[in-house]
Amino acid sequence: MPFNKHQFIKQLAGLFDLGVLVASFVFASVAVYPWPHGLTLTRLMNVRITLGNCLLFALLLVVWHSIFFLCGLYLSKRLTSRREEIVEICKATSLGAVVLLFAAKIFHIGIVQPMFVLFFWVCCTCLIVSGRLVARPLLRMLRRRGKNSRFVLIIGTNERAIEFARQLTEQPERGYKIAGFVDDVWDGTETFNATGHTRCCDFAGLADFLRHNVVDEAAIYLPLRSYYEHASQLVSQCQQHGIAIRFNSHIFNFRGAPAAGTQDIDQHSHIVATYNPKGVWSILIKRVFDLSLAIVLLVLVAPVLVLVALLIKMTSSGPVFFRQVRVGLNKRQFIMYKFRTMIDGAEEMQNQLLSMNEMTGPAFKITKDPRVTALGRFLRKTSIDELPQLLNVLMGDMSLVGPRAMSLRDYQLFDQDWQRRRFSIRPGITCLWQIEGRSLIPFEQWMRLDMRYIDEWSLWLDLKILARTIPVVLRGTGAA
């Protein structure tokens, strides 16, 4: 599976910003409160550090990092100018400085005075802006080489579609790749073929193409008068997969209330409609929540992880972790981690056990699976085998709450496109299916629970699902 450089770059930016925050805090301390006879390493090492101070500083780091997320510092800037990015950074660091002042008043942090905050803000802002200005040409270079890309499917083969493709091709630093062109044969097909582009499928084959390929956006370039009804059907197909739609104006009858924004690629503004009913801010809030809680949980369960790893090694041959390719956001593939609960080579035996499958639809579950080890049964019953997925949450492949991550085999057996909208958000460790009965629920009801979660998402819903997961795990309801 290819390395997810998009997620890696975002995580790297986050780590850089955390380092800048720490360095700015130290710089402001030295600048405002100079040490007598100078600051030496010995004096620095002799500074009294308490557990309470460490926890408070760690909490402030999390709050600052969350502010940066909410201010959009980790969104893609491929369509943002330098000036706009600098303004965003100034807003984020200014908000962080205000929060620092309030925290100093609430927790009586004597060192944090207005002059201290001013030095902190200047240092933090200058370093982050410098880092981003250095990173911009590096990211552009990566995108020119085909890394960190977004895949755009162009629907239509007329002059406007060809011009749009030309703009994308001539600006590789924006990181857009053409997934293909979709159109039926028409009078202008020969002219289109002469450009060197090729059609990946016709309108009838679009649904099948979407099922088997990574597509982040679909750009609609069809003659509006003659193709309005047809284009609306195509938009509906993309909607079923949760794919963002790019078009020139509000001309389609969308169901629901898609989130929309404008982006400039060529000389015209393009409206990009997505199907997250809550919008970008909710995605950022959810990601900050996932990161914060995942870090805390990993620290708390670290002894359990070590103990389980030792027990697996002692009781059966094979690796500690079960690694499997799963289908994630927009059908991107990633490696999911779990504790191994089966004998080594269990996946190769699955086809021999298909007659014992107790689930409807493409999912595969056996209550008394002969491949499961004695320790594995306990791990599954208590859901301890799921804990390594916290690493997937940190890497950005998964969320704490969301539709269950499907294996490639299960995904390939999906037979209804409306079910594929579940891949428009990150998969989760737990979900409505988990708390409503797990393996006891028929497949179609499971999929409808996923649609319900996507349409009704809120942070409060995530908290309720997490809270209800605990008693479900303790009871072992529906565990297989």
d(CA 22, CA 28) in angstroms, rounded, equals 10
Across the chain, what does the average pLDDT equal? Answer: 79
Residue 415's CB is within 10 A of a number of other CB atoms, namely 8
pLDDT score of 41 more than 60: no
Lowest mean pLDDT among 309-318, 353-362, 426-435: 353-362
Number of C-beta neighbours around residue 35 at 10 A:
11
Nearest to 201 by CA among 214, 188, 210, 192: 210
Out of 36-45, 97-106, 192-201, 280-289, least confident range: 36-45
Rounded CA gap, 235 and 275, in Å? 11
Per-residue b or e along 292-324, where b marks 16 or more CB atoms closer than 10 Å to that residue's CB? ebbeeebeeeeeebeebeeebeeebeeeebbee
How confident is the model at residue 278, as a pLDDT? 53
CA angle 374, 378, 380 (to 5 degrees): 110
Separation between Cα atoms, residue 12 and residue 222, nearest integer Å: 40
| Residue 21 binned pLDDT confidence (cut-offs 50, 70, 90) | confident
Mean pLDDT, to the nearest integer, of 138-144?
A: 75
d(CA 37, CA 137): 43
Element (DSSP H or E) covering residue 128: helix 114-144
Band of residue 2 on the pLDDT scale cut at 50, 70, 90: very low
> What is the separation of C-alpha 154 from the centre of its chain, rounded to a whole number of angstroms?
24
Percentage of the chain with pLDDT > 90?
18
**Long-range pairs for 4-10 at CB < 8 Å and ≥24 separation?**
4/332, 4/334, 4/395, 4/396, 4/397, 5/142, 5/147, 5/148, 6/148, 7/395, 7/396, 7/397, 9/139, 9/142, 9/148, 10/74, 10/396
Q: What is the pTM for the complete model shown? A: 0.54
Q: How far apart are CA 16 and CA 20, in angstroms?
A: 6
Q: For 204-236, what is each residue's pLDDT tens digit?
A: 898 889 888 888 888 888 876 666 677 778 888
Let me know: does 157 contact 189? Beta carbons within 8 Å: yes
Dig out the tokens for 136 from the structure: 């911009």
Neighbouring residues of 284: CB distance < 8 A, sequence distance ≥ 6:
69, 70, 72
Domains of the chain, residue spans: 5-144, 150-274, 280-475
Among 57-66, 167-176, 326-335, 345-354, the least confident range: 345-354
Q: Is 355 helix (H, G, I), strand (E, B) or coil?
A: helix
pLDDT for 385-424, tens place per residue? 999 999 999 888 999 999 999 888 888 888 888 888 888 8
- Report pLDDT digits (tens) over 428-477: 999 988 888 776 788 888 899 999 998 888 888 898 999 998 888 777 66
Assign domain 150-274 to its CATH architecture: 3-Layer(aba) Sandwich (3.40)
Structural contact between residues 308 and 338, judged by C-beta atoms closer than 8 angstroms: no
The answer to whether 160 and 215 have CB atoms below 8 angstroms apart is: no
Does the pLDDT value for residue 181 go beyond 90? Answer: yes
Nearest-angstrom CA–CA distance, 209 and 10: 29
Per-residue pLDDT at 251:
45
Q: Beta 244-247 vs 217-220: how paired, if at all?
A: parallel
Sorted by sequence, the CB contacts under 8 Å of residue 313 that are 6+ apart come out as 320
Distance CA 68, CA 11 (A): 13
Tell me how many helices (H) and strands (E) the chain has: 16, 12
Residues 372-390, mean pLDDT to the nearest whole number: 90
CA 377 – CA 311 distance, rounded (Å): 13
Number of C-beta neighbours around residue 250 at 10 A: 10
pLDDT at 382 over 70: yes
Average pLDDT rounded to a whole number, residues 244-268:
54
